[in-house]
Amino acid sequence: MDLDMNSMAVAIGVSVPVLRFLLCFVATIPVGFLHRFVPSPIGKHIYAAGSGAILSYLSFGFSSNLHFLVPMLSGYASMFLFRPFCGVLTFILGFGYLIGCHVYYMSGDAWKEGGIDATGALMVLTLKVISCAINYNDGLLKENDLRDSQKKYRLIKLPSLIEYFGYCLCCGSHFAGPVYEAKDYLEWTERKGIWARTEKGPSPSPFGATIRAILQAAVCMALYLYLVPKYPLSRFSDPIYQEWGFWKRLSYQYMSGFTARWKYYFIWSISEASIVISGLGFSGWTDDSPPKPRWDRAKNVDIIGVELAKSSVELPLVWNIQVSTWLRHYVYDRLVQKGKKPGFFQLLATQTTSAVWHGLYPGYIIFFVQSALMIAGSRVIYRWQQAVPPSMALVKKIIVLMNFAYTLLVLNYSCIGFMVLSLHETLAAYGSLYYVGTILPVFLILMGKIIKPARPTRSKVTKEQ
């Protein structure tokens, strides 16, 4: 068996631990499918928890399950014993333990060198545990004081221990997401809410959406395997890189970021397939006649939306969608005081939280601070665009194109820090482009303070921006 694993790993150019992880990860698809046939809600919870624990054991070993128990049990204990404070307490304990694991395992270095450990799965599990505790905390608050998302997901009753474990480990989704809400999981398991049988007929078939996600995963992996030997990260420390001209270095940074994203597209496509085929990915019906099922709950990336984003503001809506939604609901929105508008502080705090969640590497911190600057700069361009009168359509199109080019430049400049991680390599890569991706957003933010166009009539699009 070991010889077979070694030969397979060599054939596809990965390490044996990574191959073991990939096999267990792909196995979440049939595991999700079989969940549909478990007869009772309690049986479904046991199956969800058991299958998740087994896949974790086969992928990472016994110690991984022990790591998962720490945030799971501490979160449940907080809800059981300290409900008025369980949200904040679980947030602190969950992130504290995750940071400790990041520091102990130095997981970023392991991932760069082709290794794998349980910290990636622990990252997703931490978000699920925290959201469950915060929603249970929200169950104590008056409904009039809650935002729409809080009203939708709050928990009035404490889930049982088996319900909670099933939610945390269901379908192996803790491997790479997507993050979903405890209330959605419970309603899906009990066939309530949008999963209840209605006059629209039987439950929608997930097979078309599943096949699409699997085909997308296959294309993404093929493209990644084709590109990654051509654009290795080691090139940034190669003397020949420094001999290239500015435009060649810029194009290499773009292609390095472009190449790396296909790995994430592959991972999230597999996750999407496993959640969709289980039925949990169902998110309601369209308004068409006849209505069609939507499968957005498991969608974690819009590939075209990322690669052709017209504005940096769009990126959190199309990249790692479920984590971006989590950050908005549980960090960004909760930092905004009632009656006041969010500003750069909320944006920076949210991006910093995301950076710490990924790990304490300088590259992560720099990347997410860069992201906050990038989004703030893009908002300035958008405000200028909105101030252009309809009679100057050509000028408006030029500004739209400028925002697109700005997003393309700063995104692929910034993401190098996310990939190389170390402070020296990050600064060397940024310095090779004369820090253009840092200077430009700061320049735009300052110009936005000076050039303040008249506010246009508010619209839906404006509110989204």
Residues annotated as catalytic are 358
Do 32 and 277 form a contact (C-beta atoms < 8 A)? yes
Identify the DSSP state of 285: E
Tell the residue number behind the tokens 């996600």, with chain if given: 213
Query: Rounded CA gap, 134 and 131, in Å?
Result: 5
SS percent in the chain: helix, strand, coil, step 5: 75, 0, 25
Query: Rounded CA gap, 87 and 438, in Å?
Result: 36
Do 297 and 209 form a contact (C-beta atoms < 8 A)? no
Do 403 and 310 form a contact (C-beta atoms < 8 A)? yes
Residues in Cβ contact with 392 at an 8 Å cutoff, skipping those fewer than 6 apart: none
**Backbone dihedral angles phi then psi of residue 293, each to the nearest 5 degrees:** -75, 145
| Nearest CA-CA partner of 403 in 387, 384, 417, 430 | 384
The CA-CA-CA angle for residues 100, 73, 85, to 5°, reads: 85
Type and span of the H or E element at 284? strand 284-285
| Nearest CA-CA partner of 137 in 93, 75, 72 | 75
What is the chain's alpha carbon radius of gyration, rounded to the nearest angstrom? 23
Beta-bridge partner residues of 254: none
Do 121 and 111 form a contact (C-beta atoms < 8 A)? no
Do 155 and 141 form a contact (C-beta atoms < 8 A)? no
Query: Rounded CA gap, 445 and 441, in Å?
Result: 6
